[in-house]
Amino acid sequence: MKRAKESSGFTLIELMIVIAILSILMMIMIPNMIRSRDQAKLSSCQANLRNIAAALENYATENGGRYPEDLETLCPKEDASKRFMKSVPLCPVTGTKETYIKGYTMVVTPDDSYTVCCSGENHAILGIPANYPSYNAASGLEIRPHEAAPPAGE
């Protein structure tokens, strides 16, 4: 007597359907995950710029309203009492502090001012132009540059 063959697993068709469904879900999820990761890096960059700006303001308060000529002045290694930051933060995209050091400019005018930015096109994947986000002493954090106003009459 022959026994009926018992089914103990999935058929090839069932496995192919499951694999197809999983691949479609992955095609939907991966771009969203990549964008979320890049958005998190942008948020981290903005936080770094706010921290640098706070240290610059503290420095200016203790130095007669003058900002330092470079960011390394905020974190001297030899004198901890004059340290406004432990170190210049690392850019979340490039992994170096040079991004912020290159993006710092101090302007000596009757009203001292500074601008510090994430130099380069580090956030281009999110549609943000070069050297942004930026933090300005007068206007604070800018994520995108101001667009020129249209001429009058248009």
Of 105, 142, 134, 97, nearest in space to 118 by CA:
134
Query: Are the CB atoms for 64 and 34 separated by under 8 Å?
Result: no
Q: Is residue 82 part of a domain?
A: yes
Instruction: Decide if pLDDT at 74 tops 70.
Output: yes
In a domain, residue 26? The reply is no
Domain count for the chain: 1
- Tell me, yes or no, whether 63 lies in a domain: yes
pTM assigned to the model: 0.76
Determine, yes or no, domain membership for 42.
Answer: yes
Given a cut of 60, whether residue 151 has pLDDT beyond it is no
- The count of other CB atoms within 10 Å of the CB of residue 52 is 22
pLDDT tens digits, 14-71: 999 999 999 999 999 998 898 899 999 999 999 999 999 999 999 999 988 889 999 9
Q: Is there a domain that residue 55 lies in?
A: yes
Q: Which bin fits 73, alpha (ψ -120 to 50), beta or left (φ > 0)?
A: alpha
Q: Could you tell me the residue range of the domain that residue 82 belongs to?
A: 34-142
Flag whether 99 is in a domain. yes
Share of the chain above pLDDT 90, in %: 45
Helix (H), strand (E), coil (C) string for 67-84: CCCCHHHHCCCCCHHHCC
pLDDT at 135 over 50: yes
Question: Which pLDDT score, from 0 to 100, does residue 3 have?
Answer: 60
Q: What is the pLDDT of residues 103-116, one digit of tens each?
A: 999 887 777 889 99
pLDDT of residue 78: 83
Using pLDDT thresholds of 50, 70 and 90, give the confidence band for residue 6. Answer: low
> Is 56 among the domain residues?
yes
